Chain A
Amino acid sequence: MYEWDFSILFGYRWLFLQGLGITIAFTAAIVVGGIAIGLLAAICLLSRFAVLRAVSLGFIEVFRCTPILVQLIWFYYALPILVGIEMTPVTASLLALSCYGGSFYAEIIRGGIVSIDPGQQEAGAALGMTPALVMRRIILPQALRRMGPALMNQSILQFKNTSLVSVLAVPDLVYQGQMVAHDSFRPLETYTAIAVAYFVILFPLTVFVRRRERKLRVSA
């Protein structure tokens, strides 16, 4: 019978906290970056220019249909050779995860935009608003509110996806866990603690999203 001893992890608390800090900061960055990319891709998808639609669709499908782990490695090792710029693991990770998230956010945002009554666009246009102004002031505020839960769900996935940056030696929570496990010879306790940390952060969020969803359904 295995004897659990979690007290051993206490000595590594600063390492864990550092890792957690990096995981959270990474998530914040790739959620913001991903939503920005997703918004741009969604607007291109809805553009009247066929070229923009095609480019956007190509981008989305490439990132949706390849594994994120492969993308991370590709951004770090292959892209620098192709375009001739050095990339730090952090930059490569941020780029890959933002693009990966963006390809999913794009579909969510596109769906939210087309779900808004076309009468809203017409009313804005009839008042003399340009298409860009209508999008910014009339359509997006309504669409984003409606998409809130779906965007949150995707962001929860993004939070977990940050764990993959450990393969590029970015010192996130999982990477630090690997270090601790090696050092302490206590992988069971270490990875259990890490799983608990992810769960404790994400579970309240999923509850919150579910509640928001229910509220939106009632008000719709």
Chain B
Amino acid sequence: MTTSRPMIEVKALRKSFGTLTVLKDINFNVEAGGVVALLGPSGSGKSTLLRSINLLVVPDGGSIRVGQTTFAFGPSHKTPRSRELAAFRSRTGMVFQNFNLFPHMSVLQNVMEAPVYVRKLPRNEAQDLAMAQLEKVGLADRAYQVPQTLSGGQKQRVAIARALAMEPDVMLFDEATSALDPELVSEVLLTIQQLAADGMTMVIVTHEIPFARDVADRVVFMRDGVVVEEGPARQTIDDPHMEATRSFLSHFHKGRMPR
């Protein structure tokens, strides 16, 4: 791989909800195998940006490319059809703050659901794949339980396995540890770190600054719908240039990633 294109390319992205402009001309790239941490105060538009990348939110303007697929938005472009959207999303994994596991299915069925009904894999093949993903997040022994019996940390690891079972090109994490009790955070962060080590391309919205510093290659700081600063993770977190970044980071203890 010499002159590879970035895996994710976000250009001039704009989004408003009614009169509220949430994203104003956002530009950034993620290299293949790269990990970008998206930081910023609450309400700055991080979730909206992340959800734009897999088109759970349809932007008003700009363009998004993930892998080979590009979508452009604006008055001169037609809104993508739901089949196109679904096909596109099947190649981006997303992990939510509230896990959003399917409560009417076992852990294994949660992970098998999309491989069977979206990728149309034969059931036994999907099951092997799902078991392998559960193995990876250390929960193969919980395959036949229902999600309600799991701890928050375990639920989130199942959600990660569920996304991985689609063998996505990229993974998006929206505050994956924010709903967890403090003692359950590290097991999820370690799972994400393992993915990074395996070379998964990822965009991670997080308030775990030491984790972002350790695991991300680059960080993107947002405030009020714009990118205020962007750069290599360690350097930018340790020595931010912009006042807005500095003041945001000052709310967090400087410390190491929890183990």
A130, B56: Cβ atoms under 8 Å? no
Partner of B87, one of A128, A133, A145: A128
B166, A128: Cβ atoms under 8 Å? yes
Question: Is A129 an interface residue, CB under 8 A from the partner?
Answer: yes
* Complex interface: chain A residues within 8 A of B201 (CB): none
Cα of A122 to Cα of B95 in the assembled complex, Å: 10
B89, A128: Cβ atoms under 8 Å? yes
* Complex interface: chain A residues within 8 A of B94 (CB): 126
B103, A127: Cβ atoms under 8 Å? no
Interface segment among B34-42, B60-68, B112-120, B236-244: the answer is B112-120
| Number of residues from B at the complex interface, CB < 8 A | 29
Interface bits A121-151 vs B (CB < 8 Å: 1, else 0): 0110111111101000110011001000000
With contacts defined as CB atoms under 8 Å apart, how many contacts are there between chain A and chain B in the complex? 62
Partner of B86, one of A120, A122, A123, A129: A129
Main secondary structure of the interface of B (DSSP, over half): mixed
Question: Is B124 an interface residue, CB under 8 A from the partner?
Answer: no
- Min CB gap A138→B, angstroms: 6
- Min CB gap A144→B, angstroms: 10
What residue in chain A is nearest B94 (Cβ atoms)? A126
- Min CB gap B115→A, angstroms: 9
A142, B104: Cβ atoms under 8 Å? yes
* Complex interface: chain A residues within 8 A of B161 (CB): none
Question: Is B251 an interface residue, CB under 8 A from the partner?
Answer: no
Question: Is A183 an interface residue, CB under 8 A from the partner?
Answer: no
* Complex interface: chain A residues within 8 A of B93 (CB): 126
Partner of A119, one of B85, B91, B96, B163: B96
Output the residue of B91, B114, B159 with the most chain A CB within 10 A.
Answer: B114
A128, B100: Cβ atoms under 8 Å? no
* Complex interface: chain A residues within 8 A of B78 (CB): none
Partner of B90, one of A120, A122, A128, A145: A128
Partner of A141, one of B54, B89, B104: B104
Question: Is A117 an interface residue, CB under 8 A from the partner?
Answer: yes
What residue in chain A is nearest B95 (Cβ atoms)? A126
What residue in chain B is nearest A119 (Cβ atoms)? B100
Q: Which of B118-168 contact A (CB under 8 A)?
A: 118, 159, 162-163, 166
Cα of A145 to Cα of B88 in the assembled complex, Å: 31
* Complex interface: chain B residues within 8 A of A125 (CB): 56, 85-86, 89
Cα of A145 to Cα of B102 in the assembled complex, Å: 13
B118, A128: Cβ atoms under 8 Å? yes
* Complex interface: chain A residues within 8 A of B91 (CB): 128
B102, A120: Cβ atoms under 8 Å? yes
- Min CB gap B23→A, angstroms: 18
A130-B113 in contact given A117-B100, A122-B100 (Cβ < 8 Å): no
Partner of B114, one of A128, A131, A141, A142: A128
Question: Is B186 an interface residue, CB under 8 A from the partner?
Answer: no
21 contacts between A and B (CB under 8 A): A117-B100, A119-B98, A119-B100, A126-B54, A126-B56, A126-B163, A127-B89, A127-B90, A127-B113, A127-B114, A127-B118, A127-B162, A127-B163, A128-B88, A128-B89, A128-B90, A130-B83, A133-B117, A141-B104, A142-B104, A145-B104
